[in-house]
Structure 1
Amino acid sequence: MEELAGFVNGSVNRRKVLEILESKGATDPQRVAKIARLIPSATDKIIKELEENGLVQKTGDGKIELTADGKVIVDYTRAL
């Protein structure tokens, strides 16, 4: 848990993406980039990293959503 929290807190943009997904629910990557004010390629990289760590997953329609672990990490990092 602490290792994942460190991974998330190691980047303001990772945390921002997770918080956007928590507040908006399943969202397409382009919308996440727009809300986060990130270039799409940077957002895609962040999403891939988060997906590799089991914090987000793609839905059948190409949107991104938090996993159960992602929700726990968002709450955990907010409490730090």
Structure 2
Amino acid sequence: MDELIGFVTGNKNRQKLLALLGSKHQLDAVKLAKNMHIARPSVDKVLGELIEKELVIQESDVYKLTEQGEALERKVQSI
């Protein structure tokens, strides 16, 4: 878990995206980009990284946290 905390906190966009999905529960990539105020390709890159680490899953056109992602998001928020 510590490795994943470092992975997320080492990048502001990863941290923002995780927190946003933690509070909104599910969003599509367009809404994530608008809420984060970054370009869509940047959101796609971060989503890909978080999906690879099994912190985020895609269902249809929306993204949401996995159980592991939710646990990590709570830990990161408490730091």
Decide: shared fold, TM above 0.5.
yes
* Map of 2:74 onto structure 1: 75
Please tell me the residue identity of whatever aligns with 2:48.
Answer: K
* Map of 2:40 onto structure 1: 40
Shift of 1:17: 0.4
Alignment of 1:26 with 2:26, yes or no, is yes
- Which blocks of at least 5 consecutive residues in structure 1 are unaligned? none
1:7-59: per-residue Cα shift (whole Å, max 9, x none)?
00000110000111111111101100100001000000000000000000001
Q: TM-score if structure 2 supplies the norm length?
A: 0.96
What CA distance in whole angstroms lies between the structure 2 residues aligned with 1:55 and 1:70?
A: 4
- Which blocks of at least 5 consecutive residues in structure 2 are unaligned? none
Identity of aligned residues (%): 34
State the number of aligned residues.
Answer: 79
What CA distance in whole angstroms lies between the structure 1 residues aligned with 2:3 and 2:77?
A: 15
Q: What RMSD over aligned residues (CA atoms) do the two structures have, in Å? A: 0.7
Q: TM-score if structure 1 supplies the norm length?
A: 0.95
